[in-house]
Every structure is written in C-alpha cells, then in structure tokens.
Amino acid sequence: PIPLLIDTDPGVDDALALLLAFNDPRHRVEALTIAAGNVGLRHTVANALKLVEVCRADVPVYPGCAGPLLHPSRDAAYVHGRDGFGDVGYVPAAGEAGREHAALAILRLSHLHAGRLLLVALGPLTNLALALKLDPTLPQRIARLVVMGGAVTAHGNITPAAEFNVAFDPEAARIVFEGFPRFDLADWEAVLAHGFPHAEAETWLRADSPRARFYEAISRQTRLWSADRRGDHWHSADALAMAWALQPEDALETVERPVAVELAGTHTRGATVVDWQRQDGGADNARILMRYDRPRFHDLIRAALAAGGGP
C-alpha cells in the first residue's frame, strides 16, 4: 500500500476524512500529525487518539504546534463544538500521543518513505511550514501533497475573502505554498460544490457500526448548525480533500495555476490569490480541484461509516 501521512486538527470533518483513510485498502496511514486549528491542541490530540481507538487503527499520533507561527487566531469551536468533537462527552482514549514533535515526525517519515509518501494536510499548515523551515528539501521526498485550504474565488468561510485553514495561519500557508513546487489544492469553493443532502447522509449515519455510531454523535451539533446556516446540503471539506487524495482518478476537472497567500490587506489577510489570467508569469504551483465524481465520493463515505460493523 501507499504510505499516507495526515496532518490534521480534528474537527468533525477531519474525523470523516480519517474514516475514509482508515478504510482504504490501497493506502496505509503511517501517522497522524496534529495541528491546532478548529480547537486547541489539547483537544485536537485527544480527538485524534479517540478516533484511532474507535477505528481500532494502529496509528501513532504526534502533537505539533499549539498555535500559528506569528499571530494568534480565532478557533472554529462554533462549528465543531468546544472540544472539536461536538461536546458529546466521550470517554477519553486509553492510548497516548507520541513524544516526537509533529514537524520532526513529518521529516522522519519523509525519509523513511522517500519518493512514495502521500501527505495530506487537513488543518492550518503550521506543522508543515515548520518542517519545511527545518529542512527545505522536504518536497523532494514527497510523492504528492494534498492540501484542504483556500478560497480560490474569494468566497471565504471565515472572512469574506479567506478560508479557515489558510486564515488561521497565513504565514505558514505562504511558506508551504512557496516551498512546495507542486501541490493539490481542494479549496472551499470545491467543497461548496460537493455538498450532500442531509437526508441522504442521515441514512449513511444509521449504519450498524461503531464508527457510524460515534460519527453520528460527534457530528450532530455541526449538522444542525450547517442545516440552519447552509440549507439542505451538508459539506465536509476534509472528506472531499481526502477522497481526492485516495482516489485521484475520480477527479473530473482540475485547473493548474499560480496561487499565493495574502499576508496583509485590510480585508484580505489569509486570502488565496490565484493568477487566473497568468498576469505575473509565475509558475503554476497548485492543481486546483474543480469537479469530483459525486457518486464515487458518496460511496466512499458510506463505506467508511459502515466499515468495521454489521454481521
């Protein structure tokens, strides 16, 4: 199987993405490196450990940076719950986190699986930026980097122009976008174009499996929030990025362009600026996801929720 390393800030949609990854026979999850973002690091680490336990996945969890590189940022507890997993009061996992720092684990695994590693970043890019600063040759050993982040036509979800993962730590995102000559970007507009009906998702969540039961519980609060705010479709940003990472053959349309991160700006800090008209003559660094095979995406989610259960 292809070695897969996931940097994540779980987070309800991170959890769904992890369920997809744990259920994929073509990939082996080597480790989870943990960022702060949706909620503080203490919770994102505890949530990752709990999900690993629920899925009986034998995957180490390495805590990373407790906050952005430079400026403090607001979390997304209003979407994911104060604990990041819907405040259901789950019993903490028995397992413990690894002692190695996430940035060092990223570098170590990049050497161990040089040229083969699939790296998927589902949270703010702080750990990855730090790893890059420690060792700028990192991209040479990564087979593919998939990032969930950005809002390529400036339909932000956290400010008018910016998406959460990039806006939480814009300096880190800039380091990564400039340090990797090539990466895949699943942005917020792609997520908006690939929602699924709540009614359908509820049938998936009724699967007779510990994974579905746990996910149904931790996602309840955010599903209500999303139904209230965004209507009859539910959006799972990190699950879409993960689907594309695991099954790239199901991407129906992608576009390559130079993408930069705005650090200043009165209204636009954290915006991803895409050179759609190729004004600046910069190199294309990002392949942007425009359209993904919807039925295949839904099949992946349904199967991941049902996995590990039933007769």
Which is nearest to 201 in space by CA: 307, 298, 80, 300? Answer: 298
Residues 6+ apart with CB under 8 A from 105: 31, 33, 60, 62, 98
| Region near ligand BDR per CB under 6 A, out of 8-16, 57-65, 265-273, 291-299 | 8-16
State which residue, 123 or 258, has the beta carbon closest to Ca ion.
Answer: 123
State which residue, 152 or 207, has the beta carbon closest to Ca ion.
Answer: 152
Site for Ca ion in 179-238 (CB under 5 A): 238
Distance CA 157, CA 27 (A): 31
Site for Ca ion in 1-20 (CB under 5 A): 9, 11, 14
Among 46, 65, 122, 207, binds ligand BDR (CB under 6 A): 122
Q: Is 149 in the site for Ca ion (CB under 5 A)?
A: no
Q: Is 83 in the site for ligand BDR (CB under 6 A)?
A: no
Q: Which of 155, 235, 267, 298 is catalytic?
A: 235
Residues 6+ apart with CB under 8 A from 191: 148, 235, 236, 237, 240
Query: Is 235 an annotated catalytic residue?
Result: yes
Among 38, 73, 247, 272, binds ligand BDR (CB under 6 A): 38
Q: Is 14 in the site for ligand BDR (CB under 6 A)?
A: yes
Distance CA 24, CA 250 (A): 15
| Region near ligand BDR per CB under 6 A, out of 7-15, 64-72, 101-109, 278-286 | 7-15
Residues 6+ apart with CB under 8 A from 67: 36, 41, 73, 126
Q: Is 163 in the site for ligand BDR (CB under 6 A)?
A: yes
Which is nearest to 271 in space by CA: 164, 135, 143, 113? Answer: 164
Distance CA 254, CA 275 (A): 15
Active site residues: 235
Residues lying near Ca ion in the complex (CB under 5 A): 9, 11, 14, 122-123, 238
